[in-house]
Each structure stands twice: as C-alpha cells, then as structure tokens.
C-alpha cells in the first residue's frame, strides 16, 4: 500500500510560545496528522531470568570475593523478571576492549534492526523500496557507515532514501524519534518515514566496575530493537487501531547535564546514572506536561493511555505522583520493565506495539507517550486513536 501523493508545499503553522515558556507548533489548521501504520519489536534469542543473571553479572562486575549484598538488593528491587541479551551470558567475560564490544554491537544490531524494520514494513503493507526517510537511533554502539546505511542496501531500499543516524539521545530517542517523524511528515505529506531503534545495553556493561551507576545499569537494562513506520493523513482519515500523532513537545532542563549519560573512554561507554533523577522528574515533569496538554484543551485526566519509558521503579513512581495518575495508569510500563528490562529508546516503542496490537484503546481516545534522556530532557508525544 503506497501512501497517496499530496501537496508537499502546504503551509506549516508557525511556532507559538506556550504558557510554560516553551516553544512548539500549534495544532495544524489544515487538519493533518501523522499516523503510526505499524510498530514491531525484535528481541535477541538469549533470554534470562533476573535471578539467574544476578550472580553472573556479579562475576563480571565485582572483584572475586567481594560482598554482593548491594548487587542482590538492586537486582531484587529493579522490577525486572526477565531480560534478553545480545550474546549468551558466558561470552561477555571474553570481550576485551571497546573495539570488540562495538563489533559485537554491529553484528547483533544489524540482525535485530533488519528483523524489526522488516516486520514493521510488512505489517504496514509496504516494501523497503517505498521508504522515503529512515531515522536510526542507538546509544549503545557507533559505526560509520551507520547502521541505517548498511541496512539500506541490505534490505533493498532506494538509493535516494533519506537517512538520519542519531546518537546521544539515549532513552528519550524512542519518543523523540517518533516526534521527529511527525515533524518531517508535516512537510512531506506524501512520503513514508520509519524510526529504527537498536539498543544493546548489555554490551556497555563495564567489567570489574563496582560503581553504583554500573551496578544499577546491570540490574535494569536489556537488549532489543524496535521500528515504527508512519505516514501523513488528513484528520478525517480514521484507521481503527492506528494511533495518530497530534502534537509533540521537547523540554531540556538547564544545569542537569551531569545526571545521565556516558563517560566515554578506552573501555567504551561507562554509565552515568545519578540518584537524583527521580527527584528531578518528580519536580519538573508535571508543570511541563500540564502546559503542553493545556494548549490542546486537555488535562492529564483526559489521557486514557499512558506510554511511559520504563526507566526504573523509582522513576515510574515519580511520574505517577507528579501527574497524580490513578492506580494502574503506568501498568504497561511496569509490564515492559518486568519482561524485558529497560531497553533504552526501544522500550516505549515496545509498549506502543503492545498497546496497539493487544488492547487497542477506543477510537477517539487520547494517549500520551513520554520518555526521558541525557540532557536531562523529556519528550511528550500526544496521540489519538
């Protein structure tokens, strides 16, 4: 199914300053939206129970004979039951320098990325040659040519396909990537765009590093890839089960750069995860989200489906309290965390797939996707079914 060609020069509404001082786009007066045609996830075959991983990760991260009390407490309270890893767990100890781990990321990432994107395109009734834009994000490895360039010829995309490889957004990139597809499709209304997230977090685990950040990462993160295919549609074009992106908002919090990210060195990506992150989320996310929703005449009470990045139990609790959400509002995030851990940018896309395929919200109902990432930043995506 090819998306009908329409006027690609139609005017886009100019920026507006909102109540919280942030700048964003007003609702499109021409009634255009971007529609999620399909979203699919691909997970590695190596699946482990959390209690099985605890001692094995301890062998990798802790010195022989070191006390494992903190490690076991972190694993027990992470809200994770199972995770998928890019490699069999017994292969990680043999990984040497960053070159070896990055090579493993490339091999596994190409396979998972191809699988996720192929399945998403097939579900949308499209072929790779019909793709006009591919945004590819990962914060767990680097490559030049990038993953998207290698996949383009491997999958049979057109030579003129537009590509945007993204590094640095981290966990926020699933929501931010969908938001940027929406921005693009507003100005290219006859085209098809896809977002591919490939996150192999296990390959960033630092051996013989007992820092709190590394132990937290070892307790929470899992591996996977996810892909979204989207196109533009008029407001009166309703497709059951397919959510539409109505509006987006990006917020970057000043003086919070130290909270989350990587320290990059000879050993690769050493995690930076500050214990203050839940407090920052709890204090700042509420005003920004309420102001964003108010532009569209909505409040958090109007949102029927919440798709929140499962950063960890404390972050989910902070979000629920900050927005005064009812019990169960973030159950989809808790389920995703339990069955596959925090897969960085792929997590919210996995939740979106679960929601749209297993329990589609009622037509006309509102949804809100949100994720946080290095910066420290947050992305909101307003959805409607």
CA 311, CA 278: separation in Å to the nearest integer? 10
Torsion sign (Cα): 68, 100, 118, 307: positive
**136 has catalytic annotation:** no
Backbone φ and ψ for 140, nearest 5 degrees, come out as: -115, 10
Q: Which two tokens stand for residue 126?
A: 């499209």
Q: Which of 136, 171, 201, 377 is catalytic?
A: 171
Q: Which two tokens stand for residue 383?
A: 């959805």
The answer to whether 251 and 22 are in contact (CB under 8 A) is yes
CA 198, CA 165: separation in Å to the nearest integer? 11
Mark 257-288 as b/e (b = at least 16 C-beta within 10 Å).
eebbbbeeeebbbbbbbbeebbebbbebbbeb
CA 63, CA 85: separation in Å to the nearest integer? 23
Backbone φ and ψ for 298, nearest 5 degrees, come out as: -120, 160
Could you check whether the bond before residue 314 is cis, i.e. omega within 30 degrees of 0?
no
Residue 305's DSSP bridge partners are 367
The answer to whether 292 and 382 are in contact (CB under 8 A) is yes
CA 58, CA 62: separation in Å to the nearest integer? 5
**Residues catalogued as catalytic:** 171
């Amino acid at each position: 199914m090819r998306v009908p060609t329409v006027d690609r020069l139609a005017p886009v509404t100019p920026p507006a300053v909102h109540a919280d001082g942030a700048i964003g786009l007003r609702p499109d007066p021409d009634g255009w939206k971007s529609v999620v045609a399909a979203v699919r996830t691909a997970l590695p075959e190596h699946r482990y129970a959390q209690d099985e991983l605890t001692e094995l990760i301890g062998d990798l991260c802790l010195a022989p004979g070191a006390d494992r009390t903190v490690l076991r407490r972190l694993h027990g309270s992470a809200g994770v039951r199972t995770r998928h890893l890019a490699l069999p767990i017994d292969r990680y100890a043999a990984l040497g320098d960053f070159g070896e781990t990055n090579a493993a990321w490339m091999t596994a990432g190409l396979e998972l990325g191809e699988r996720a994107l192929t399945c998403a395109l097939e579900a949308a009734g499209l072929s790779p040659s019909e793709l006009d834009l591919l945004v590819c994000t990962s914060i767990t490895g680097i490559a030049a040519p990038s993953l998207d360039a290698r996949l383009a010829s491997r999958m049979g995309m057109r030579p003129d396909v537009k590509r945007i490889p993204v590094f640095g957004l981290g966990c926020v990139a699933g929501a931010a990537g969908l938001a940027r597809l929406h921005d693009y499709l507003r100005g290219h209304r006859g085209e098809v765009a896809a977002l591919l997230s490939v996150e192999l977090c296990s390959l960033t685990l630092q051996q013989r590093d007992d820092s709190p950040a590394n132990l937290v990462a070892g307790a929470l993160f899992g591996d996977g890839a996810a892909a979204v295919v989207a196109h533009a549609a008029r407001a009166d074009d309703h497709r059951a089960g397919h959510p539409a992106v109505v509006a987006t908002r990006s917020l970057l919090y000043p003086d919070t750069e130290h909270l989350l990210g990587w320290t990059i060195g000879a050993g690769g990506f050493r995690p930076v995860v500050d214990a203050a992150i839940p407090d920052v989320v709890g204090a700042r996310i509420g005003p920004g989200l309420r102001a964003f929703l108010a532009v569209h005449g909505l409040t958090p009470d109007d949102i029927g489906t919440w798709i929140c990045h499962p950063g960890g139990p404390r972050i989910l609790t902070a979000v629920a309290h900050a927005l005064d959400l009812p019990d169960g509002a973030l159950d989809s995030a808790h389920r995703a965390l339990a069955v596959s851990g925090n897969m960085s940018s792929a997590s919210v896309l996995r939740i979106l797939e679960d929601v749209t395929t297993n329990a589609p919200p009622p037509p006309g109902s509102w949804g809100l996707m949100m994720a946080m990432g290095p910066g420290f930043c947050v992305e909101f995506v307003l959805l409607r079914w």
